[in-house]
Amino acid sequence: MNITKYKKNEEGPEKNPIFFVITTLYNSASSLKVTLDSMAKQTYGRLIHLIYDDGSKPELNCDSLVEDYKKEVSKRSDPYPVIYEKGSKNLGVDGAHVHCFREIEGTHFTWLDSGDYLSPSFFEEVAKAVQAHPECHWFGVNFFLFDQTGVDPVSRGKKPDVSPIVHHSDWLPMRTFYTWRKLVIEKETFFSINPNLFFIDGKQYGGAYYDGQIEIAFVLNSEPICYLSHPLAYQLVDAHSASRQFSFDLEKEKQGLAIYLPKLGISSQDISQYIGYLDVTNKAQQIEENFNHGHYDKALENFKEVKRFIHQNHLPHYYFVFRKRARRFACLSRHAFLRKCYSFVRSKRERTGLRKERTHNESAKED
């Protein structure tokens, strides 16, 4: 892979970032075109695009689509390298991406799955953020989710209630887990955190896939992140998406992370803290389930435990806005019924406590 043409006038990675884009395919001919078209229309040209076919069936290969894409890129005023590789066997979601990680060049990298697409200014906007915040080693870009019926504006698109840049002092015990953004990662920092490219199989361990593993590792290493709140990416959710194909299992995920994180040198204290976070987010999800099934006492119990976690860790009120289960919690925390229950139970307990104290004092006087 030759990127010597990019080395002219380069003053440092933060001045002229080179983005390495990974697209993995598996029987994806029907959804690939929109992805490649969005790449060809990028207004920023310092790119390298690796397309890896992870053992697709011969009749479902994307050879012609990739060839047309290469021709389209060659017509640009600033054409970029397009590399097309075909694996002899299927490595799976994590295996295919780890294979591609070994070939990363440039200064930063990201992944763009078949069916997903980017706004034309995606890399131009990220490049500006890289130049403006050289202290940040990864970048989170807001995005929309969509299916065959179109964009789902409820899931994404609202400006997140976070500052444009999150400093160390804002993380856990002021850290933010599961930012759930389209991530762009600085290559050098990535390889310093995970030099041996050790990853667990997300399918085997409850849905903890490569992207989540990278995010957790960066968070637990306190790497500062820069957020781009304007949605610049679109993620397809269909029958082939990991979230639809495989069920998520919290206990298996915790088992997998207990294997993965020590390999990266993460302290046992941080691992324990993160596992505790997983338990609390699971309770946040259960609040809605309890509430919808009429189990109001259990909903209130889980609600109070999550609120306690936020308070004890000095987290901002919007701490749980980054995941589907978290957004549910954020909405429920403003629900009139739960607020009323919380206030009533708290005041009732206080009154009960006062009555018990008065009864105890009166008994003591009689004695």
Q: Quick one: which of 24, 34, 39 has its CA closest to 86? A: 24
- Could you tell me which residue, 261 or 345, shows the higher pLDDT? 261
Same domain, 258 and 300: no
Task: Indicate the number of domains in the chain.
Answer: 2
Please state, in angstroms and rounded to a whole number, the distance separating the CA atoms of residues 264 and 253. Answer: 17
The 10s digit of each residue's pLDDT in 266-307 is 989 888 878 887 787 777 777 767 877 888 888 878 878 877
The pLDDT assigned to 226 comes to: 81
Assess contact for 34 and 41: CB atoms under 8 A: no
Same domain, 247 and 284: no
Task: Select from 262, 282, 302 the last residue of a domain.
Answer: 262
Residue in the block written with tokens 């505790």: 276
- Specify the DSSP class assigned to residue 88: S
User: Across residues 102-108, what is the average pLDDT?
Assistant: 96
Same domain, 200 and 320: no
User: Across residues 125-132, what is the average pLDDT?
Assistant: 94
210: Cα separation from own chain's centroid: 10
The 10s digit of each residue's pLDDT in 219-258 is 788 787 787 877 788 887 765 555 445 567 888 989 999 9
In a domain, 113, yes or no: yes
The pLDDT assigned to 259 comes to: 94
Task: Indicate whether this model's pTM tops 0.95.
Answer: no
Strand-pair partners of 84:
51
Same domain, 253 and 275: no
Supply the CATH number for residue 88's domain. Answer: 3.90.550.10
Same domain, 325 and 196: no
- List the structure tokens of 344: 């009533």
Same domain, 119 and 143: yes
In a domain, 352, yes or no: no
The pLDDT assigned to 297 comes to: 83
- Could you tell me which residue, 72 or 226, shows the higher pLDDT? 72
The pLDDT assigned to 348 comes to: 43
Compute the mean pLDDT over every residue in the chain, rounded to the nearest whole number. 76
365: Cα separation from own chain's centroid: 62
Q: Quick one: which of 282, 280, 287 has its CA closest to 328? A: 287
Same domain, 128 and 232: yes
Same domain, 257 and 291: no
Please state, in angstroms and rounded to a whole number, the distance separating the CA atoms of residues 19 and 77. Answer: 17
- Could you tell me which residue, 363 or 338, shows the higher pLDDT? 363
Task: Select from 228, 244, 262 the last residue of a domain.
Answer: 262
In a domain, 361, yes or no: no
In a domain, 364, yes or no: no
Instruction: Read off the pLDDT band of 79 (50, 70, 90).
Output: very high
Same domain, 297 and 322: yes
The 10s digit of each residue's pLDDT in 327-361 is 444 555 555 544 444 444 444 444 444 445 555 55
Same domain, 189 and 316: no
Same domain, 245 and 215: yes
The 10s digit of each residue's pLDDT in 133-160 is 888 898 888 777 776 666 554 444 444 3
- How far apart, in Å, are the Cα atoms of 259 and each of 101, 215, 267? 20, 16, 12
Neighbouring residues of 204: CB distance < 8 A, sequence distance ≥ 6: 252, 256
Please state, in angstroms and rounded to a whole number, the distance separating the CA atoms of residues 183 and 185. Answer: 6
The yes-or-no verdict on residue 166 having pLDDT over 50 is: no
User: Across residues 45-52, what is the average pLDDT?
Assistant: 96
Residue 302 domain boundaries = 268-338
Same domain, 140 and 251: yes
Say what angle helices 296-312 and 336-366 make with each other, to 10 degrees. 80
- List the structure tokens of 190: 């990535």
Please state, in angstroms and rounded to a whole number, the distance separating the CA atoms of residues 144 and 164. Answer: 19
In a domain, 347, yes or no: no
Q: What percent of the chain has pLDDT over 70?
A: 68
